[in-house]
Structures are given as structure tokens and as C-alpha cells.
A and B are shown apart, each in its own frame.
Chain A
Amino acid sequence: MSMASQNAASVVIEQLSLAYDTTDVLKDVNLRIEPGELFTFLGPSGSGKSTLLRAVAGFGPTPRGRILIGEDDVTRLPPWRRNVGMVFQSYALWPHMTVRRNVAFGLEERRTPSAEIPKRVDAALDMVGLLELSERRPSQLSGGQQQRVALARTIVVEPRVLLLDEPLSNLDANLRVQMRREILDLQRELALTTIFVIHDQEEANTISDRIAVLDEGVLQQVGMPMELYDEPVNRFVAHFLGTANLMEGRVETGDDGARFAAANGIVLPLAGESHPAGGERTAVFRPQDVAIAASGETVPGIVLTGRVQHREFLGNLLRYSVAIGEDILLVDDTHHPGRRAFAVGDEVVVGLRGEQVRILEP
């Protein structure tokens, strides 16, 4: 494909802070996104992830700090001089123009020779499979088709970076999976540096090379999806990426190595690397790492007894809330047809192994 971009650029964000009036929306964000990378800004609403994406595109108040695309400092450039392609959440197709005119817009504004424009528009529309709908108005298209037009309109100008703001949030579940695949194929074909803004962690996990987790305008952690899940650096990341059990306590040095003494009296031996003792800490472990069995049966690891307080059936698994003293532990048990399930009120034993526990940095 001739459209394949040779100019995939890195995006570097240095000490970026941004405020609307007196409200700080972004606080000292530092990031480096590699050329050709599929990167995601993930966070709850109000976390600043969309503001950060818009700052890369040049919208919103001028930030403090720097944004570099490739070698160029674009912090003070207006949007129309950045050559950054953005696909808006609502697609923002111009209703008074046909699909073809929408796609041609960016080329026209770039003074592309008029003989070349139809060819490139056709190529872009062909790429998203909408060539035959080129004379339609946006209002005559389905949501998925509008999304494709928005994509074609952006990639036709061969931007150095592709930005997608919640690209799948306006689509229904089936279309979402299909569109996700199409966007990924397209990105691979064009080898474009791509930044997504996503609020759904599962979606972010499935499509991203790396994820930056944001909360309240502060960058919490950057890493590959599995890293973030397995090694969250703080409570927010642990909670936001998947379900987590958290326990407060302190690390102590015992006879046979480090152990975690929780405030509730539970003591967990810690495996693996050394843990410096002392100070209030938080232990994190995932529900699927806790074993569950009927009272009297055996489970691996530290055994605790408790009572089932809630039960949620999630299809592939059953999620129990087990009351152990004052505390509630979430325990996931894989579900198979015919497999016995515990009922609310049942006495159970749960097993916790030290190597599954991660101690958060203070």
C-alpha cells in the first residue's frame, strides 16, 4: 500500500501541566511513545486522559512543559500545523459534505495537486471498504460506517501520529469487536504511531502495546498490559486494572524470610525478592489466585476459614465474597457445568500463597 507511512514519529511529553482556569487537569506528565507504537491513555472520566490527547493535537489551553513529535517541538503550534490525525469520539463528520468531500478536505487544505486528490481519496476509502458509499451523506451511514469515514479522513493526509478518542464507545458490542480488529489491521499496515484514549480496561488490554494509566491528572504507571496487571505500583492501578484484594499491614522479617503481617492478624509468608521490613504497606492479590474449598477440605497455602457472603455468576467463573473476621476477600472459582457451587452462608476455607501477593511501594 502506497499510503503506508514512512514517517512514523515518536511522541515525547515532558513535564506537561495544564489548567482550565484555576483547575489543574494535568500535573507534570512525562511520557515517551515510540514510533509505530500502539499506545493507550487509560483512566476513569475526569482523569485527564482526553485532555492529554487533545493537548497532543493542539486543542485546549496552552500547556506548560513540552510536546515533541519526532524532533519537533509542537507545544506552541496551532492544530492545523501539527500534522497529527485525530479521530473524534463523535466522529465529527461534516454533515453538509458527502463522504468523498469529507475525506478530501484535509488534502484540499494542504494544497495537494487537484489531480492527485481523487486518487488518494479513493485509496483511503478503499482501505476502509467504503468506496461504493463515497457519494453518501454522513447521515445516511451507520455508526460503523461513519467511524470508517472518520478514519479514512484522518489517514488520507498521512499524519505523523494517529489519535483516537474513545473510538469504539459509540458502537454496539458486536460491531466493537469487528471495528477494533479493523483499526488494528489498519494501524499495522500503516505502521503509524497511534494513541488511543480508552476508559475500559479490558479494551485497553486487548489493543495496546503499552498503556499509561492516569488518575486525577497524574500519570500513575506506564507499562505493557500484563505488567500493569501483575505489578501495579499503587492501589489505584491495582483496582482499575481488574479486581483486587487489598490488605493493610506491615512487612516483617521472620525466621524463614520476609512475611506480611496484616492489620487483621493474618500473616502471609512472602516469596521471591527481598522485602525491606518496616512501615505501613499494602498487599495486593487477585481473586483468581485464592483457592476455595468446602470447610474441612484442603487448600494450598495459608488456610483461612470464612463464610460466603455474596455470590456472583460471571459465566466463566463464580466470584465469592468471603467474610473472614472483619474482612471480605474476593475469591474467583472457575466454572464448569456440573461443578459444585457454594451457597451464601456456607462455611468455606480459602488458601493464599505468598508468591501471589504483591507488596505495593509505600
Chain B
Amino acid sequence: MSLEAMARGQWGPAAVGLIVGLFLLAFLVVPVVNVIYVAFQDPNTGALTLINFVDFFRNSLFQESAINSIYVALMAVVLASIFALPLSYFTTRFHFGGAILIQTLGVLPLIMPPFVGAVAMLLLLGENGSVNLLLDEWFGFTIPFMEGLNGVILVESIHYFPFILMNLSASLNSIDRSMEESAQNLGASGVRLFRRIVFPLAMPGYVAGASLVFLKVFDDIGTPLLLNINNMLAPQAYLRIASIGISDPMGYVISVILVIFSLLALWISFLALRGKDYATVQKGGGGLMKRDLRPWEKAGCYGVVIFILLLVLSPHFGLAILSLGTVWSFSVLPDAYTFSHYMRVVSESSEFITNTLLYAGLAAGIDVLFGTAIAYIVLRTNLIGRKWLDYAAMGAVAIPGVVLGIGYLRTFYAFNVPIIDKPLASWWVIIVVALAIRRLPYALRACVAALQQLSVMLEEAAENLGATKGRTIYRVVVPLMSGGIVAGFVTSFATAAVELSTTIMLVSQESDAPLAFGIYEFMQSAAGRGPGAALGIIAVLIVGIATYVSHRIIQRKETQQTPDMAIVAGV
């Protein structure tokens, strides 16, 4: 590194970039490459071979699992689209009272582990659930909402439809009214206007959301396992490793297939978004074109919206009732209500809660630290290899949790941590690392977005007035990015707090287990469902409180930035 480059402030970023790069190499690239390598290795001789894949495709259970996984993921996308389309379209394109409330409620399903919702859905919509009991009593028939794969599809689509809702709403929101007005001016209206202008402009957002849903559903293991569906790919990978051991090649073969499908989904999303970064909101534009609804239209729209919200929030309602009920079986509602489940989990299982706060907090902290560093290196320096840092960090999106878990077990079991004298793969710190790696893309995108909005001139002005690169980052860049950094922290924290697919493989003793794992353990038995639901509600509260507190911190920070003003106001 030349003296000039040091003076120009590349030295610090280079060192930081190296640290981040080594972290990603050790905890993302090496484990995943290891998994892929083992999948192509003969279990006996160690030679490279395709025999494991041949075995996989000859096995009827695996064939069935693959078909089931694809079917479930596709159907979940369809159902999630049916939930998301009306919510986002009505709230963005019409004058619609309560639009913000609807959008907020629409995102709530995400802040609960999907498998937790699964139990509540069984009790509400299962064969002997509340709805079917009532249907049977009143009309003499039942609907198999939760039977077999239906249950997985329903639970997953309810849980993941917010991805479509958020992306599609963002796309619809960014269509400037001038786009539609110029189309009208040139003679387009009604359905043609929608088909030729609104639909194409909104399409990239929809495809991005839909491919994310596909990817998430394809990789989820908690929901099918809890609903006792084992013949899907991700659960099979876990079960092979958990029951046969980490030397069984099938777990690795399935991992490779999971990664391929993830990459496929991301590739489709990339194709949809490529070159279509339509920032159509014009300078001095008129904002969004919103239309007034006629009264009967309004009634219809509200009817649809309320029905969808009731359905997608039913896991929350069900879970709340379950956590407060004594016995709830073969009845519309529990027999009686009690707080004893909460008492029990707080007194007996509080380490689940403290572990979760610790793990998710540390992971989110690492994520925003690395996210800010990577964003700065990519956008503000010309270090060699900076793009690769970005690609590697974003690459974590394509790695299913179960694959990362298997990779960690395989790679770090032989690595003994000094002092505590224990394999790295069974030390609690590895859970934090896994969570940090898995959530880094979220934090990184938030940080990149925040830095992109920051004019370089604000930094140049600071340098011009005598601030070095480091001082400029400290005094100008980070303060102005703080909104994005906090948003990244919250997203990472909230999603890490409810993650199961990796942790389920890495928890080596119950005292190290986080909430999601605890809930999963409780939910295995009928007697544990009450306490499990209570833990689930606690998880939802933690995530909710974390989000609220972070908003307050941002606000306080903003007022703190003007201490002189506060004093003046105080006088």
C-alpha cells in the first residue's frame, strides 16, 4: 500500500475489509463449499463421484420429497399472492382509510416463527379445530385445510405473504401519477391503462417478493416437521443428519439441491429486477395517483381486506388463546383460561428468553457493523475485490439455514476451541455466528440503501473543512446513516430471534437454546403446547418491543443532535 493511498484514507477500509472478508470466508464460503464437496465424495473411498446423486434420484422417498417441496413452494406463492394482491393494491391505488394500519397488520405474520403459527392453525382450522367443529355442527361437512401438504401450504403462505405485500406495495407506491396521466393523455384508460402501464411497472416488485416466498418455503424445516410432514426435502436433510449422523451423504446431496433451487429463485428475481430500477417518482411530480371508491366498491374492498387480515392474523389469535387456555382439544375454544403457562415458562425456561436476546442482539450488532463497513467499502472506496465482499455477504441469502447448519457441523466439529475445550460446532458462539451470517444480507441492504441516499458532497464538504476520512465517517456518514443502521439492526434482530432452521442443528445442550428451539421442543408434546404458545407470545412481544424501542432511540437521537436547541427551548 503506497503512502498516497494511506493518506487518501484507503488503509483503514482495507484492514476492515480484510477482517470482514476473512469472517465471510471462514463462516460462509468454507462450510458451504465443504457441504458441496462432501455431496460429490464417495463416503467410503473419498473419491469424487456422482454416485450419491444417483442414489438420491433412485430413492422413491427422495423423489416424492422433491416433488412435494416444489409443489408446496409453488402453491404457497399462489396463495400468498392471493393474500397480498388485494391488500397492496387497495391501500396504494385508492383513497383507503386505515391504509397504514392495514399495511402494518399485514407485516405482523413475519414476526413469529412459522411453525409456531402451525400449532395455532391446527387448533383453529385442523380436522378437529374450531372452524371444522362449527362447520360440522351447522352444515355437516368439514374442509381439510390442514390435511397433509395443505397445512404446510396454508401456514407458509400466511407467514411469508408479507414479502410479496411489501415489495409489491413499494413498486406500486413508486409509480408516479405522471406515468398514468401521460398514458391517459395519449388515450389509454381502465383495463388497458392497468395492463400496459401499472402492471409492467409493478411486476418487478411482485416477482422479487414471490421468488423470496418460494425460496423461504422451500428451505423451511420447522413447519413441516411440526405438522408431521417428513416427505419434503429440507426436513429430510435435517432428519438424515439428526438420525443417521453427519457422515451420511444424503443430507449433503439434499443440501446441494436446496442451494440450487435457492439460486434459481434468486436468479428469477434478478432477471425480473435487472435494468428495471424504475424510480418513476418524478422531481416535482404529483405523487401517487389515487382514486376515490364508490360506496359499494368501498364496502366490497373492506370486506375482502378484513377477511384476509382475519385469516393471516389467525395464528396470532390462536396462539394467544392457546397460551391462556387450560385444555383445548376437540372443542371450539379452550375449557377454561389460566396464566399458569406463562408462570411456568418464565420460572422454568427463562434461559430461552435471555439466550435469544443475547444471540439475536449480538448477531444483529455484528450485522450492522459489517453491513456499514461493506456498504462504505463498496460505495465509497475503490479497493480491489470490494464487489466480491458484497457478493459474498449477499450470497448468504441463497444458503438455506439447514445447509449452513450441516456445513458448520461438518467443518467445525473437529475444531476445538481453546480454554473452554469444546468443539466450535457445539459452542453457543457458533449460533451467534450462524445468525449473523444468515441475517447479514438484510442489514447490508439497509445500510447500502442508507448510504446510497447520502450525497457524496456531504462527505467532501467535511474533508474540505479538514476532517480526515475516518473523522468524516464518524461525524457525518454514520450519523446520517443511523436510520438505515437501526432499521438494519431491527430487521436482523427480529428475524434472528425467531429463526430455527440453523439453530436446530447447532444447539448442543438445552441451556444454550434460544426461544425458537424451546418452542419447538415444547410443541412436540400435547402437554407442552400451552407453555410453548406462551413462549411464542413472548417471542412476538420481544420482537415487537425491540422494534418499538428502536424507533424511540432514533427519535431521541434526533433530539440529542440539537442540544443547544433543547436548552434554548428550556429557557
Residues of chain A having any CB pair with chain B under 8 Å = 57-59, 62, 76-81, 83-86, 88-90, 92-98, 100-101, 105-106, 109-110, 135, 137, 153-154, 157
Verify if B562 is at the interface (C-beta below 8 Å from A). Answer: yes
Q: Which of chain B's residues 424-438 have a Cβ closer than 8 Å to chain A?
A: none
Closest to B6 in A: A78
New A-B contacts (13) at CB < 8 Å, excluding given A76-B4, A83-B466, A105-B465: A57-B460, A58-B463, A78-B7, A79-B460, A79-B464, A89-B457, A92-B455, A94-B462, A94-B476, A96-B558, A98-B565, A105-B475, A154-B465
A-B contact pairs, 28 of them (CB 8 A): A57-B460, A57-B464, A58-B463, A59-B460, A59-B463, A62-B4, A76-B4, A76-B7, A77-B7, A78-B7, A78-B463, A79-B463, A80-B464, A80-B466, A80-B467, A81-B466, A92-B457, A92-B458, A94-B462, A94-B476, A98-B562, A101-B564, A105-B475, A109-B471, A135-B568, A137-B562, A153-B461, A157-B466
A101 to B455, CA, bound (A): 19
The digit string for B1-16, where 1 denotes a CB below 8 A from any CB of A, is: 0001001110000000
Given the known interface contacts A96-B479, A98-B562, the answer about A90 and B457 at a Cβ–Cβ threshold of 8 Å is: yes
> Cβ of B467: which chain A residues have Cβ within 8 Å of it?
80, 105, 109
Residues on A with beta carbons closer than 8 Å to the beta carbon of B466: 80-81, 83, 106, 109-110, 157
Q: Which residue of A lies closest to B464 (CB)?
A: A86
Residue of chain B at shortest CB distance from A85: B464
Contact A98 B4 (CB under 8 A): no
B468 at the interface (CB under 8 A from A): yes
Q: How distant is B412 from chain A, measured CB to nearest CB, in Å?
A: 42
A88, B461: Cβ atoms under 8 Å?
Answer: yes
Query: What B residues does A76 contact at CB under 8 A?
Result: 4, 7
CA distance A125 to B468 in the complex (A): 25
The prevalent SS among residues of A at the interface is loop
User: Is the Cβ of A100 less than 8 Å from the Cβ of B564?
Assistant: yes
Interface size on B, residues (CB 8 A): 27
Is B20's beta carbon under 8 Å from chain A? no
Query: Considering residues B4, B7, B458, which has the most beta carbons from chain A within 10 angstroms of its beta carbon?
Result: B458
Does B561 sit within 8 A of A, measured CB to CB? yes
CA distance A351 to B462 in the complex (A): 58
Main SS of chain B's interface residues?
helix
Question: A281 to B461, alpha carbons, bound, how many Å?
Answer: 47
Q: When chains A and B are docked, how far (Å) is the Cα of A83 from the Cα of B464?
A: 7
Contacts A88-B461, A90-B455: A78 and B8 contacting too (C-beta < 8 A)?
Answer: yes
The residues of B that contact A100 with a CB separation of less than 8 Å are: 564
- What are the 8 tightest A-B residue pairs by CB atom distance, in nearest-first order? A106-B465, A109-B466, A92-B461, A92-B457, A79-B463, A109-B467, A86-B464, A88-B457
Give A79 to B457 CA distance when docked, in angstroms: 13
Asked if B480 is an interface residue, CB under 8 A from chain A, the answer is yes
For A81, A89, A92, A97, the residue with the greatest tally of chain B CB atoms inside 10 Å of its CB is A92
Contact residue among B462, B558, B565 (Cβ-Cβ distance under 8 Å from A105): B462
B457 / chain A contacts, CB cutoff of 8 Å: 88-90, 92
Contacts of B479 in A (CB 8 A): 96
- Please name all residues of chain B whose beta carbon is closer than 8 Å to the beta carbon of A89 when the two chains form the complex: 457
Q: Give the complex CA separation of A271 and B9 in angstroms.
A: 60
Task: Tell me the smallest distance from the CB of B12 to a CB of chain A, in Å.
Answer: 13
Q: Closest chain B residue to A103 by CB distance? A: B465
Residue among A59, A62, A153, A154 facing the most chain B CB atoms (10 A cut-off): A59
Compute how far the CA of A93 lies from the CA of B9 in the bound complex, rounded to whole angstroms: 22
Please give the distance in Å from B44's CB to the nearest CB on chain A. Answer: 55
- Taking the closest CB of chain B, its distance from the CB of A58, in whole angstroms, is 8
The one of A59, A78, A86 in contact with B9, judged by C-beta atoms closer than 8 angstroms, is: A78
Per-residue interface assignment for chain B, residues 53 to 65, with 1 indicating a CB less than 8 Å from any chain A CB and 0 otherwise: 0000000000000
Taking a contact as CB atoms under 8 Å apart, the answer to whether B463 and A94 are in contact is no
Q: Which residue of B lies closest to A106 (CB)?
A: B465
B471 shortest CB reach to chain A, Å: 6
* Nearest neighbor of B3 in chain A, beta-carbon distance: A76
Q: Once bound together, how far apart are the Cα atoms of A58 and B466, in whole Å?
A: 12
Tell me, in angstroms, the Cα distance from A79 to B7 when the chains sit together: 10
Q: Is the CB of A157 within 8 A of B455?
A: no
Contact partners of B568 in chain A: CB under 8 A: 135
In angstroms, Cα B463 to Cα A83, docked, is 10
Name the A residues within 8 Å of B464 (CB-CB).
Answer: 57-58, 79-80, 84-86, 154
Within 8 A of A (CB), among B468-499: 468, 471, 475-476, 479-480
Task: Tell me, rounded to whole Å, the shortest Cβ–Cβ distance linking A218 to chain B.
Answer: 26
CB distance from B480 to the nearest CB of A (A): 6
A88 to B8 Cα, complex, angstroms? 21
Complex Cα–Cα for A154 and B463 (A): 12
